[in-house]
Homo-oligomer: A and B are copies of this chain.
Amino acid sequence: MEQRISLITLGVTDVSRARTFYERLGWQGQEVEETVFFQAGGMALVLWARDKLALDAGVEGRTAGAFSGLALAHNVRSRAEVDQVLADAAGAGAEITQPARETFYGGYAGYFRDPDGHAWEIAWNPGFPLGPDGSVTIPDFGVS
């Protein structure tokens, strides 16, 4: 298994509602057969009905809790951008679960939950440089 991820599919209650949320954040997607695809760098974020995803994955009937045990992160280039994106997310209907604050690694970050409860961290991390295209590079920590 190569060391890469192709798609992240978010199971959602209402595809239109979910799409509207991401579009309010400025994302543009394509909807095909009630599935929305957002190209995101070399991968894609996908919105799909939660029950269809559960059926497809063979986990139908397994109920979900309030916290999915997983967070997506969107890293930005400044503290001000953290505040701006969190404000934009709140304006688009997100719940701010963790207001932005200083982090133990010398950065600044906060979290929101999208309308289906998926957790997103918005972070400024001076130790994880972003490329011109926004791609992140984990530094060589000198460990394994």
Contact = CB atoms under 8 A, between A and B. Distances in A.
Interface of A: 1-11, 25-32, 37-45, 50, 53-54, 56-59, 62-75, 85, 88-89, 97-98, 111, 113, 116-119, 121-123, 128, 130-131, 133-138, 140-141, 143-144
B30 A141 contact: yes
A33 to B, nearest CB: 8
Which of A43, A56, A136: most chain B CB closer than 10 A? A43
A86 to B, nearest CB: 10
Specify how many copies of this chain sit in the oligomer. Answer: 2
Given A4-B40, A4-B74, A38-B3, A56 B111 contact: yes
Contact of A134 (B4, B25, B32, B67): B4
Contact of A70 (B4, B63, B118, B136): B118
A20 B5 CA distance: 18
A4 B69 CA distance: 21
Given A62-B66, A66-B59, A70-B70, A45 B5 contact: yes
